[in-house]
């Protein structure tokens, strides 16, 4: 696996505010091949219960899910491929706002997935890096949500229905490369 400083440098390198869904150099055929290789490797390891799907109008190329009973570590698994930098990440789900989204992923599995990524021409990015605060230059969905929320709250009367303890999560790199829409 790449050292932490190289992973962070790659995340910053591919952050182009003029290319929101895919980089200028995006190669559809190469991405399709990489996704097929990732899917094939996961199916070989976990069996035919793997489900894969492509995404449209987002920075996430597609994802592969494996049900908990097939993983061998008692948790479901999700592996995603970004349109940017051929980044791949993994967790229990594509919803990283859940507590401990990588709980149950073994070091052996992460090492195996990193090898699969390297063979497919991808870069494995552990979710811990993607959950670091996004400080890039691309306006992402959360920025618009925050602005809209501020405008609405400034113009609305307080009706007392605020959820106690509910806080908006700040944008993270995963939002930029795996959920921007």
Locate the DSSP E strands across the chain.
51-54, 60-66, 77-82, 87-91, 123-124
**Predicted pLDDT of residue 63:** 95
Cα of first residue to Cα of last residue in the chain, in angstroms, is 28
Most confident of 34-48, 64-78, 129-143: 34-48
Please report which helix (H) or strand (E) contains residue 141, including its range.
helix 141-155
**Predicted pLDDT of residue 136:** 85
The answer to whether the CB of 72 falls within 8 A of the CB of 81 is: no
Residue % of the chain over a pLDDT of 70: 82
With tokens 């091949």, the residue in question is 33
pLDDT in tens, 149-170: 444 445 554 444 445 545 566 8
Residue % of the chain over a pLDDT of 90: 59
| pLDDT confidence tier of residue 103, bands split at 50, 70 and 90 | confident
**Predicted pLDDT of residue 140:** 65
Nearest alpha-carbon partner for 59 in 160, 134, 163, 151: 134
| pLDDT confidence tier of residue 33, bands split at 50, 70 and 90 | very high
Nearest alpha-carbon partner for 12 in 4, 154, 79: 4
Full DSSP string of 8-57: HHHHHHT--TT-SSS-TT--HHHHHHHHHHHHHHHHHHH-TT-EEEE-SS
| pTM, entire model | 0.83
Handedness of CA 154, 159, 161, 164 (dihedral sign): positive
């Amino acid at each position: 696996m790449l050292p932490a400083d190289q992973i962070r440098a790659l995340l910053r390198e591919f952050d182009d505010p003029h290319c929101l869904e895919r980089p200028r150099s995006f190669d559809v055929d190469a991405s399709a091949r990489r996704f097929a290789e990732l899917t094939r490797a996961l199916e070989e390891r976990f069996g035919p219960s793997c489900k894969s799907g492509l995404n449209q109008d987002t920075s996430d190329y597609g994802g592969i899910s494996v049900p908990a009973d097939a993983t061998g570590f008692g948790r479901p698994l999700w592996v995603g491929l970004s349109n940017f930098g051929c980044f791949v990440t993994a967790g229990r789900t594509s919803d990283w706002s859940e507590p401990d989204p990588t709980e149950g992923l073994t070091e052996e599995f992460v090492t195996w997935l990193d090898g699969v990524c390297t063979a497919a021409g991808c870069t494995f990015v552990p979710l811990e890096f993607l959950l670091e605060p996004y400080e890039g230059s691309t306006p992402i969905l959360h920025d618009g949500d925050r602005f809209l929320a501020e405008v609405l709250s400034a113009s609305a009367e307080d009706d007392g229905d605020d959820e106690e303890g509910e806080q908006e999560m700040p944008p993270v790199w995963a939002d930029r490369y795996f959920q921007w829409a």
